[in-house]
Amino acid sequence: MFKEMELDALKEIGNIGAGNAATALSMLLSKRVKMRIPEVKVLPFDEVSKLVGGPENMVTGIFFRIEGELAFNILFIMQPADTLNLLKIMLRQEKTELDLTALEESALKEMGNIIASAFVAALADFTGLSLRVSVPCLAIDMAGAILSFPLSLYGYIGDTAFLLETEFEEGLDGIKVHFFLIPDDDNAFRVLLNTIGVRASNGDNTCGDGRI
């Protein structure tokens, strides 16, 4: 089990990465962007989709696979109205339906790429770890289906989801971008802690009762 102090350290690492990511998003959109303090969450797999409107809710997901000295996944999730608003800011075109053109898909992926890369770059700088970010993948579908892939990867070792989660909010239109960092296993977080000199306990999350 991770201790309180280790969780605080993880949150702080998340905070540094997400702060950079929020700055990148703000520069891209030329708008003010607010960020919630990242939280480390342990919760049943099914509860995760409730954070973004329930398993059947249609959302936009942009996925990145991070490999190297740490293996984890980054997933951005946005509601349909927020997706359309983002496209309006980036491409200066009104749109009412989520039937995206190749250019619009590409714009969303690129936005994801800029935020994810800013996050990973900050993480790599801070820890000295070597990390690679995959090309972005986009899907517009049920939230449960979009989350199932990274959650299942963690499912090999855990009976509950274990993730770092935050939200970016653009100031004027209130566009929200939900950010999830889902590790492949508990080892990813342990390597992180060791790198920054927080001696990790034999933390794992096997009991499946939501305790840490």
- Closest contact distance (angstroms) between CB of 139 and another protein is 5
The one among 92, 94, 102, 156 contacting another protein by CB under 8 A? 156
Please give the structure tokens belonging to residue 178.
């939900």
Query: Under the criterion CB under 8 A, does residue 145 sit at the interface with another protein?
Result: yes
- Three-state DSSP class for 132? strand
- Closest contact distance (angstroms) between CB of 38 and another protein is 23
Q: Going by C-beta distance under 8 Å and a sequence separation of 6 or more, which residues neighbour residue 125?
A: none
8 A C-beta contact, residue 6 and residue 196: no
Query: Under the criterion CB under 8 A, does residue 151 sit at the interface with another protein?
Result: yes
8 A C-beta contact, residue 31 and residue 172: yes
The interface with another protein within residues 37-96 (CB under 8 A) comprises 44-46, 49, 54-56, 58, 61, 63, 65
Total length of the chain = 212
Q: How far is the C-alpha of 195 from the C-alpha of 192, rounded, in Å?
A: 5
Query: Under the criterion CB under 8 A, does residue 149 sit at the interface with another protein?
Result: yes
Binding site for another protein (CB under 8 A): 44-46, 49, 54-56, 58, 61, 63, 65, 134-135, 137-149, 151-153, 155-157, 159, 206, 208
